[in-house]
């Protein structure tokens, strides 16, 4: 026990003597641990944000198509719907005794590349994202008039709009000439707080507003010789005949499969009802290869750091042959030298992992409160419960394993070789 204590003191003094070289190795291991923690934390938080793009919605109902495609355009506002569903189908959903609320979604128009979402006032009452978070208004209030518009946070920021501004929506993606609804401008009455979801990139109007835009259009073009003013449009019946999809909330989740079966068996038109959480999980599996690539990259960085650890100890070993020989001369057995080198490598790895973890915790503590505003992703601070202990333990174990090679070389050094005059 006394021998090990003396060896420990000698190891500390030796490490202090080589502190500048070892410091770089510690920094290298710390950087690897930092990258591993950040990639793992960001990957997990992005996944949670993605899976919680919509929460509290039990079913997404739309025309028969791929479940992923339905979710992409109804929730993510990506792609284009192949068909619409009849308004009477939405009314049938609203009349279902198991259905608590229905949010109709009508897509197709745009504003400066951002999708225009025709919906109802229930959108602001029932839509949830993240951990059952409701939509909050940064400024203003929901739409009340046919030609009112509420902007997502990103739309308002990029376009520089404020309350009271007037804007002109475009038919479709607005790329073709003559597709602007210039005769029916909308007035900005609200700007939503940032959510980190597709809501930020959406322009919201009432279904009646969407209908008013197209009362004098047919097959995607204005009807020749017909022009309906905004005031005339307000006097018309603006009940939509079709919508793109509907978000459905139930009184109890136990009824979800029964309602899904009833929707799928509807006789008036072919419909589809999907569980958004299941489809989002499938969608994440399709795009999850990027996060796996990041994990592989950070693992490679960790591997390079451990190779550097071996190189530094091996290089130092050649300079320490006399030191090790002296240790043998004062009674240290070969196993003591083996343990000394393994202890040194493990200590350097553990110190690097500890330093990297502390830096990662500090960085996340600083950026987490503002991550939603800056990047649209809610990052969580690092906590003991959220630490990837297996990864960190694996790095320390790998450092211990990497130090075995120089330790084995030290073990084989002979006393006579160490005490021989060096360098001729």
pLDDT at site 2: 62
Q: 338 and 392, same structural domain?
A: yes
Domain boundary among 227, 253, 275: 275
- Looking at the structure, do residues 311 and 337 belong to the same domain, yes or no? yes
pLDDT value, residue 414: 46
The CA-CA-CA angle for residues 383, 385, 388, to 5°, reads: 90
Model pLDDT, residue 273: 92
**Domain boundary, last residue among 275, 305, 332:** 275
Within a domain: residue 227? yes
Same domain, 250 and 297: no
Pairwise CA distance, residues 19 & 15, whole Å: 6
Distance set, CA 86 to CA 91, 108, 292 (Å): 9, 15, 42
Taking Cα atoms as reference points, which of 218, 233, 149 lies closest to residue 189?
149
pLDDT of residue 424: 37
Same domain (yes/no): 315, 364 = yes
Show pLDDT as tens, one digit a residue, over the chain (424 residues). Answer: 566 677 677 777 777 877 877 788 788 888 878 888 888 788 778 777 777 777 889 999 999 888 888 888 888 887 776 688 999 999 999 999 999 999 999 998 899 889 999 999 899 999 988 778 899 999 999 999 999 999 999 899 888 998 999 999 998 877 777 778 888 999 999 999 988 788 988 999 999 999 999 888 877 778 877 788 888 888 988 999 899 999 999 999 899 999 999 998 888 888 999 998 888 877 777 766 766 777 777 677 777 767 766 776 666 666 666 777 777 776 777 777 777 777 877 888 888 889 989 998 898 888 877 776 666 667 777 777 777 787 788 878 877 877 777 777 776 664 555 445 444 3
Same-domain check for residues 115 and 177: yes
* Burial zone of 79 (CB within 10 Å; 0-12 exposed, 13-18 middle, 19+ buried): middle
Residue 343 lies in a domain: yes
| CA nearest to 108, candidates 221, 220, 238 | 220
Within a domain: 196: yes
pLDDT value for 422: 46
Say if residue 241 is in the same domain as residue 93: yes
Claim to verify: residue 67 and residue 6 sit in the same structural domain: no
Same domain, 253 and 309: no
Same-domain check for residues 241 and 312: no
The reply to whether 62 and 200 lie within a common domain is: yes
Q: Based on the structure, what is the number of domains in the chain?
A: 2
Residue 423 domain flag: no
Task: Please indicate, yes or no, if residue 267 is contained in any of the structural domains.
Answer: yes
What is the C-alpha separation between 297 and 270, in angstroms, rounded? 46
232 and 294 fall within a common domain: no
- Is residue 106 packed enough to be buried (19+ CB in 10 Å), middle (13-18) or exposed (0-12)? buried
For position 365, what pLDDT does the model report?
86
CA distance 221 to 219: 6
Q: Is 424 within a domain?
A: no
Task: Work out the number of other CB atoms within 10 angstroms of the CB of residue 91.
Answer: 12
Q: Are residues 346 and 391 in the same domain?
A: yes
Q: Which of 246, 275, 304 is the endpoint of a domain?
A: 275
Q: Is residue 281 part of a domain?
A: no
Task: Provide the pLDDT for residue 313.
Answer: 66
Whether 280 is in a domain gets the answer no
Range of the domain at 185: 55-275
pLDDT (0 to 100) of residue 4: 66
């Amino acid at each position: 026990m006394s021998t090990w204590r003396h060896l420990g003191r000698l190891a500390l003094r030796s490490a202090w003597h080589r502190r500048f070289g070892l410091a770089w190795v510690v920094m290298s291991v710390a950087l690897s641990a930092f990258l591993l923690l950040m990639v793992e934390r960001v990957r997990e938080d992005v996944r949670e944000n993605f899976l919680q793009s919509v929460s509290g919605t039990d079913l997404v109902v739309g025309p028969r198509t791929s479940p992923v495609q339905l979710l992409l355009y109804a929730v993510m506002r990506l792609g284009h719907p192949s068909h619409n569903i009849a308004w009477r189908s939405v009314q049938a959903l609203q009349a279902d005794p198991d259905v608590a609320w229905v949010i109709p979604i009508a897509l197709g128009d745009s504003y400066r590349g951002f999708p225009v979402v025709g919906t109802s006032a229930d959108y602001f009452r029932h839509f949830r994202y993240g951990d059952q978070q409701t939509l909050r208004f940064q400024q203003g209030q929901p739409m009340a008039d046919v030609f009112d518009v509420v902007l997502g946070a990103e739309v308002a920021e990029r376009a520089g709009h404020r309350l009271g501004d007037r804007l002109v929506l475009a038919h479709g993606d607005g790329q073709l000439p003559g597709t602007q609804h210039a005769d029916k401008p909308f007035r900005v009455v609200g700007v939503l707080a940032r959510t980190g979801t597709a809501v930020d990139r959406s322009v919201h109007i009432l279904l009646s507003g969407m209908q008013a835009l197209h009362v004098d259009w047919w097959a995607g073009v204005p009807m020749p010789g017909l022009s309906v003013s905004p005031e005339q449009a307000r006097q018309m019946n603006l009940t939509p005949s079709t919508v793109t999809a509907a978000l459905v909330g139930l009184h109890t989740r136990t009824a979800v499969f029964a309602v899904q079966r009833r929707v799928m068996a509807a006789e008036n038109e072919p419909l589809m009802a999907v569980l958004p959480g299941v489809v989002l999980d499938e969608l994440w599996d399709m795009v999850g290869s990027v996060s796996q690539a990041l994990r592989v990259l950070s693992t490679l960085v960790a591997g390079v750091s451990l190779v550097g650890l071996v190189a530094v100890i091996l290089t130092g070993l050649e300079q320490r042959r006399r030191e090790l020989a002296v240790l043998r001369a004062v009674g240290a057995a070969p196993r003591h030298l083996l343990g000394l080198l393994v202890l040194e490598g493990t200590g350097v790895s553990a110190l690097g992992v500890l330093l990297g973890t502390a830096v990662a915790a500090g960085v996340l503590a600083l950026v987490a409160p503002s991550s939603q505003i800056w990047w649209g992703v809610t990052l969580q601070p690092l906590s003991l419960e959220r630490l990837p202990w297996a990864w960190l333990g694996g790095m320390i174990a790998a450092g211990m394993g990497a130090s075995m090679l120089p330790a084995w070389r030290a073990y084989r050094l002979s006393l006579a070789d160490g005490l021989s005059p060096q360098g001729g």
